[in-house]
Structure 1
Amino acid sequence: MGAFETLRIANTALGAHQVWLDALAGNIANANTVKRTSEDAFQATYVEFDPRGDGGVDVAGFAAGDPEGRMVHSPGHPLADEDGYVRLPDIDMAAQMSQLVMAQRGYQASVQVTKTAQDTYGAALQIGAR
């Protein structure tokens, strides 16, 4: 596998990890978004990936979380219904934080692969220049 092929594959991974990080950031930021019980809860975004036959990865699409969310008894909240309930998203913060670590590590690994491939290509050009 040549340096250009390595760069292309690492570039697809960088893009996919960035989309994943963005989705996770949105989910985490909205984990405590309160809605009226008559409204849909904030729906988490889940990224779906598709491996390429040539070694890269694509973002295949997005899946939305459950609009039902979860009902929480909070009678003092200004959005509470007559029974004192509000609707919160059904987001598992532990799972989101675990995925955030995985996405960050994957992004960092892709950056390192890109840097190494660039250094290798640069060294090869220097050999040819002598």
Structure 2
Amino acid sequence: MGPLTQAMATAASGMSTQAIRMRVAAENIVNASSTAAVPGGDPYRRKLITFDRAVDRATGAQLVRFDGLRPDQRAFRTQFDPAHPAADERGYVKFPNVDPLIEQADMRAAGRSYEASITVLQQARALYGKTLDILRS
């Protein structure tokens, strides 16, 4: 397979992983203020996505792939609110270790990477089409 096919495969893998990255960031944002279901329990823990490199056997293209999710081990935020249903025996409530600004920045970066992959894919398809036109002449 040629370099254009490899470029398309690489771009497609990038789009796939960036879409997952955006979904994870959105999930983190949605749960940014979720507290525990029981007093003193742990709230939602931020999720981090991991990537890995792979080679497409059919095209020889270098790919990026989703490797998995792992929990962010940073400490939870706490706030004194003895009246809150999730408060512990000392009156503190644990809140998720999610910073919505960081998640929004991550989502924006993933969106830009996704758009860049679309551009690569479109250019590779255009070059492929022009190559076919030349071969037909």
Pairwise TM-score range, normalised by the shorter structure: 0.7 to 0.9
The 2-side partners of 1:2 and 1:67 are apart by 42
Please name the residue that 2:126 is paired with. Answer: 119
1:66-114 CA-partner distances (Å, limit 9, x unpaired): 3862221123434334543222101122322221121111011001111
Q: Do structure 1's residue 4 and structure 2's residue 5 form an aligned pair? A: yes
Q: Is the 8 A contact 1:48 1:60 kept in 2?
A: yes
Q: Secondary structure at the match of 1:57?
A: strand
What 5-or-longer segments of structure 2 have no aligned partner? 56-60
The 2-side partners of 1:79 and 1:37 are apart by 4
Q: TM-score, normalised by structure 1?
A: 0.85
Q: Is the 8 A contact 1:42 1:67 kept in 2?
A: no
What 5-or-longer segments of structure 1 have no aligned partner? none
User: Which amino acid counterpart does residue 50 of structure 1 have in structure 2?
Assistant: D
List aligned pairs for 1:91-110, cutoff 5 A: 91-110=98-117
Q: Secondary structure at the match of 1:75?
A: coil
1:36-62 CA-partner distances (Å, limit 9, x unpaired): 443222011101111235421111221
RMSD of Structure 2 on Structure 1 (CA): 2.1
The 1-side partners of 2:42 and 2:85 are apart by 17
State how many pairs are aligned.
130
Q: TM-score, normalised by structure 2?
A: 0.81
